[in-house]
Amino acid sequence: MRCLFCGSLESKVVDSRSAEEGSAIRRRRECTVCGRRFTTYEKMDDVPLVVIKSDGRREVFDRNKIISGLLRAGVKRQIELKTFEDLVDDIERDLRNSFVKEVQSNQLGDMVLERLRGLDEVAYVRFASVYRKFQDIQSFKKELDYLFNIKNKPVRK
C-alpha cells in the first residue's frame, strides 16, 4: 500500500478490525520509511448477478422479487419468512459459487421450484402456476401429475 505522505510502497499493518457491519476491513498502517500512520479499507468486490429475462432484457438479480413471489405463493400457509429467505440465500449462493455472471430467468425459476417442491406442495403449485403461466386446466393438471409422480417415485439405493 502506497504511503499517503511519502509515497513509499513499504508499510506494515498495525491494527486490523471489521468495519461497515462486516462488509469491509479497516486496517491501520504505518509507513516503514517515514513512520507516519494512515488508514485503509478493504472491501470485497461485489460482481453483480444478472438475470436474462425471456424477452432478452437484462436485470440485476433482486432477491426481494423472488421472496415477494414466494410470499404470494405461500399465503395462508404455515411457512415463515426466514424459510423463504434461506431458500433464496441457497439459490444465490449456488449461483455465485458456480461463478456465473448471468442466469436465464427460466433457470432461476426452476431452481426456486426445485427447492419449493420439498418445502410445501401447495406453495409449489401456486408458484408454478404463475411461473409457468398456466393457460388452462390441462397445464395445471400436468404440473400436478408431475409433482405426484416425483413424490411417489421410490428412492434408489
Please say if the pLDDT value at position 99 is more than 90.
no
3 within some domain: no
Residue 30 and residue 71 share a domain = no
Task: Work out how many domains the chain is built from and give that number.
Answer: 2
Most confident of the following: 39-53, 65-79, 114-128: 65-79
Residue 138 and residue 68 share a domain = yes
pTM: 0.65
Percent of all residues in the chain with a pLDDT value above 70, rounded to a whole number:
95
156 within some domain: no
Residue 106 and residue 81 share a domain = yes
Burial of 66 (0-12, 13-18, 19+ CB in 10 A): buried
Residue 74 and residue 100 share a domain = yes
pLDDT of residue 155: 44
Please say if the pLDDT value at position 157 is more than 60.
no
Give me the domain span that covers residue 123: 50-151
Residue, of 153 and 111, whose pLDDT is higher: 111
